[in-house]
Amino acid sequence: MTQRRVIIADDEPLARERLGRMVDELDGYQVVAEAATGMQVLEAVASHAPDILLLDIRMPGGDGLEIAEQLGTQTAPPAIIFCTAYDEYAIRAFDVQAAAYLLKPVRRQALADALRRAERLNRAQLQALRTRQADNPQHLSVTSTRGTELVDMTRVRYCEADQKYVTLHHDKGETLTDLSLKALEQRFPDHLLRIHRNTLVGTRYVQALERQDDGACQLRLSDVPDALPVSRRHVARVRQRLREL
């Protein structure tokens, strides 16, 4: 029988121990890691790629609901079962696609039922994500320290190259990829515009091309506080693209 990989996240050692014993008593599941803080949860998920995450809500270093929302951006997120002493978060929990919401003290049969439900949901999630990525070529699958993320390239403000890596600056923060600027430019020609050998910008966020006193040009983007330099060799192409937009 295939062992489903489980991570237990709770800041109380006794709670983790109790959940671990119950999981061990069930066939088909294996606890591969434990976490006591929000940061540890993200690191454990990135390292162990679990099928299922048993997650507390009130934890130091990261609210469980926020963690679930962040994991939901990945292309292969674990199914999440919330295990908490608080009942007031149930509606929000299902907003982040939780497979189950169990109140402490968690009962063995309730946990067994939730694990089976989570397994079914996780397979459905993966299929839905694969379909979404196939149907939406503006999405880019990126493997990072946080796991595998699905980045919506229409939300990328600009891409900045630094040695071997490129940083994607988007509305949810930053994502690092080992894809080159050239590869991104070729893959997303409708969304990205080259303005410098080290920079691509999201065309929908372009506001203005400005000429400085020394003759150099810079580009203003919405939601980006600082203007970005435009190299001389790309000014004409940028002006042409602005007329087309």
Q: What is the 3-state secondary structure (H, E, C) of 110-171?
A: HHHHHHHHHHHHHHHHHHHHHHHHHHCCCEEEEEECCEEEEEEHHHEEEEEEECCEEEEEEC
Query: d(Cα 58, Cα 134) in Å, to the nearest integer?
Result: 36
Q: How far apart are the two ends of the chain, measured CA to CA in Å?
A: 56
Does the pLDDT value for residue 40 go beyond 50? yes
Of 135, 164, 187, the residue at which a domain comes to its end is: 135
In the predicted model, is pLDDT for residue 127 greater than 90? no
Residue 229, domain CATH: 2.40.50.1020
For 150-174, the pLDDT digits (tens) are 788 999 999 999 888 899 999 888 8
111 and 225 part of one domain: no
Are 10 and 123 in the same domain? yes
pLDDT digits (tens, 9 = 90+) for 132-154: 545 556 778 776 544 456 788 99
Q: What pLDDT does residue 145 have?
A: 46
Q: Check residue 146 and give its pLDDT.
A: 47
β-partners of residue 141 are 150
Do 73 and 147 fall into the same domain? no
Mean pLDDT calculated for residue range 23-27: 94
127 and 226, same structural domain? Answer: no
Do 69 and 113 belong to one domain? yes
- Global pTM value: 0.53
pLDDT at 118: 83
Tokens, residue 164: 């071997």
Distance from C-alpha of 174 to C-alpha of 203, rounded to nearest angstrom: 18
| Residue 18 and residue 98 share a domain | yes
Is the same domain home to 16 and 124?
Answer: yes
Helix (H, G, I), strand (E, B) or coil at 97: coil
Same domain, 101 and 176: no
pLDDT of amino acid 123: 55
Percent of the chain with pLDDT over 70: 88
Identify whether residues 215 and 131 lie together within a single domain.
no
228: Cβ contacts below 8 Å, ≥ 6 apart: 158, 195, 196, 199, 201, 218, 219, 221
Task: Note down the domain range covering 51.
Answer: 4-135
Q: What CATH number is given to the structural domain containing 69?
A: 3.40.50.2300
* Nearest residue to 192 (alpha-carbon basis) of 137, 144, 146, 127: 137
Give the model's pLDDT for residue 128.
53
Q: Does residue 95 sit in the same domain as residue 145?
A: no
Instruction: Give helix 38-48 / helix 64-71 axis angle, nearest 10°.
Output: 30
Q: What is the per-residue pLDDT across 177-225, written as a single tens digit (0 to 9) for each?
A: 888 999 999 889 989 999 999 999 999 999 999 998 888 999 999 989 9
Same domain, 123 and 156: no
Cα distance between residue 245 and residue 241, in whole Å: 6
Domain count within the chain: 2
Looking at the structure, do residues 125 and 178 belong to the same domain, yes or no?
A: no
| Cα–Cα distance for residue pair 86/122, rounded to 1 Å | 24
